[in-house]
Amino acid sequence: MEDLFLIKDIPELSAKKFGSKIALQMKSGYTFRSITYEQLDDMTKKIAEYLLHLGIKKGESFAVLGENRPEWAISYLSVARTGAYVIPVDSMLKEKEIKLILHYIKAKGIFVSPRYLDLINEIKDSLPELKHVISMDEAEHTHETPFYFALDEGKKLLEKGSHKYRDVKMSLDDPYVIIFTSGTTGQSKGVMLTSKNISYDIIYSTKLIEVKENDRFISVLPLHHTFEATAGFLLPLYNGCTITYARSLKPNEILEDIKDSQSTILLGVPLLFEKIILGIKREIKKSLITNTIVNGMLAIEKGSKFLLNIKLGNPIFKTLREKSGLSTIRLMISGGAALKPEVAESFESFGFLLVQGYGLTETSPVVSVNPLHKYKHRSIGVPIEGVEVQIDNPNENGEGEIKVRGPIVMKGYYNNQAATDAVIKDGWFYTGDIGYIDKEGYIYISGRKKSIIVTEAGKNVYPEEIEEMLGESELIEEVLVLSVINKKSGREEVGAIIYPNPELIENVMKKNLSEEEGDKELKEIIGKEIARICENLADYKRVKKFDIRYEEFPKTTTKKIKRYLFNNYTISD
């Protein structure tokens, strides 16, 4: 087995191997603002020394909040070098959710990009533990520390002979990062990952997707997302690749950045790839002649694949790929949610390689990936080397809950042993996903045992979290939050079934309205209440559709709603 390593040591290890090669870059105007591996090591060393001088210690927490940019990566690695827990914060969360996370983890400080400084200033006074706010740019208030100041102070400390960062002792089994999977209740779950977890995942994921030193990654997914943090940030840095941070999520700017950086690898969620392929097809349809030619070429490509098992997409559509701005991309990897097979097949027809993998935050996250030499678009691939995947209590079709065992399984949930014990049994992590394994060892997902709703963008939504908030309303007696499919987009969204307060129902009925008018008024009242409560939630967590029911939900003997009875429930339009 290849030697594992401490995540805090990545800057130093890679600086020795790759020196003046560009590690991180981002376009600014017409040029790239670049940071080499040597500079990355130097900058994280200085900031770590500054943080240690402030009194930050191993076992304490320091958060990072911001959009994708080199300073986010530098902040993350600087905290790791102090031995403190890195707390990557989801930038899509609302003020209340972020406040609860920082309070729960007792964060001593936070690195923040300018666009979130006002938010942090709003909540800072209610977080007595939060002593240090470091801006990723200039400071906007007197209590904030500018990024350059932290660098300069760290430099002075090192020049004076202080090298506290060298004295930080950590083992492979020490948690170094805590990633929160839910942010608005006291029962938030912080996934504790160790250097052993992440370094193992990096080494053996690299072997499956065959990453080379000359690969160039384009970073589009949010860095707080575990998939991007491991596979799109730490993995390329370990392998000496160059990471380019996309300026925005605008398709035209992403394509410009890919073209200008000559990127070779793109990680994304299904929604991103759907948008890209739709964009390509839309451009083709604009020209009747081009559309006719492309359709003919696609027919040739499909015929050669079916009859001769020869893939002609690459040579046939070379010009199209160049015009799309994606000609340098050799590999696309989808994760975070299920990828529709037809999307991968469309990319393949045009000569692109798009494969999907599978993982969870609790597994660092990569469990499996499709091998590049033998991929199956309907499968989530084969387990990475040294990781066991089994089906628990399979039915007659071989389907059951997927469970995972190996060095990638988390240490546990922060300060939540009961939640940890519920998912890790005898070393096996129970994923809550239902699936099966074929004769060749490829894994397939067929459903979910857990009630978690996974949006198209790969965001996890926990129904219990939203149910608790809605249930606090005096107008709502009982609520069940569940997944609904948007008929127009085909995407998974958050829906709810509401049993209103019986008194509210009675008051509406007293108005002697017709049944239709009464239903309409009741739905308007509940709709406004739901909208009010959801204001403090991230957009992807908000209830998009709901139904009213006029009787209590069926319950178990322990008074829990029988959720499984509503697995196939359809909310009316």
User: Does residue 296 form part of some domain?
Assistant: no
Q: Is the pLDDT of residue 557 over 70?
A: no
Final residue in a domain of this structure, among 103, 137, 170: 170
Q: Is the pLDDT of residue 188 over 70?
A: no
Which residues 6+ apart lie within 8 Å of 47 measured at CB? 74, 75, 78, 150, 151, 154
User: Does residue 521 form part of some domain?
Assistant: yes
Instruction: Sort 387 into a burial class: Cβ within 10 Å, 0-12 / 13-18 / 19+.
Output: buried
User: Does residue 70 form part of some domain?
Assistant: yes
User: Would you give the DSSP letter of residue 553?
Assistant: P
Name the domain count of the chain: 2
Q: Is the pLDDT of residue 25 over 70?
A: yes
Vertex 271, ends 496 and 482: CA angle to 5°? 15
Q: Is the pLDDT of residue 573 over 50?
A: yes
Please give the model's pTM, rounded to 2 decimal places: 0.82
User: CA 37 to CA 14: how far, in whole Å?
Assistant: 6
Q: Is the pLDDT of residue 190 over 80?
A: yes
What is the arithmetic mean of pLDDT over 492-507?
90
Which residues 6+ apart lie within 8 Å of 90 measured at CB? 97, 180, 183, 222, 224, 538
- Mean pLDDT of the residues in the chain: 89
User: CA 419 to CA 421: how far, in whole Å?
Assistant: 6
Greater confidence (103 vs 560) lies with 103
Task: Name beta bridge partners: 63.
Answer: 87, 110
User: Does residue 392 form part of some domain?
Assistant: no
In which band, very low, low, confident or very high, does the pLDDT at 313 lie, cut at 50, 70 and 90? very low
Q: Is the pLDDT of residue 310 over 70?
A: no
Q: Is the pLDDT of residue 325 over 90?
A: no
In which band, very low, low, confident or very high, does the pLDDT at 513 lie, cut at 50, 70 and 90? confident
User: Does residue 508 form part of some domain?
Assistant: yes
Vertex 25, ends 336 and 356: CA angle to 5°? 20
3-state secondary structure of 440: coil
Continuous segment of H or E residues that includes residue 541: none
Alpha helix positions (H), 188-287 = 195-209, 226-229, 235-239, 251-261, 270-285
Continuous segment of H or E residues that includes residue 430: strand 428-437
User: Does residue 62 form part of some domain?
Assistant: yes
CATH number, position 524: 3.30.300.30
CATH number, position 59: 3.40.50.12780
Q: Which of 36-40, 302-306, 502-506, 555-559 has the highest mean pLDDT?
A: 36-40
User: Does residue 433 form part of some domain?
Assistant: no
Q: Measure Cα distances from 513 to 273, 282, 508, 509, 572 in Å.
A: 49, 50, 8, 7, 22
Of 42-56, 83-97, 273-287, the poorest mean pLDDT is in 273-287
pLDDT digits (tens, 9 = 90+) for 330-359: 999 999 888 888 899 989 888 889 999 999
Give residue for tokens 């908030």: 469
pLDDT digits (tens, 9 = 90+) for 111-120: 999 999 999 9
User: Does residue 466 form part of some domain?
Assistant: yes
Final residue in a domain of this structure, among 170, 197, 222: 170
Q: Is the pLDDT of residue 520 over 50?
A: yes
Final residue in a domain of this structure, among 142, 170, 198: 170
Structural domain boundaries enclosing 520: 460-566
Q: Using an 8 Å Cβ cutoff, are 302 and 349 in contact?
A: yes
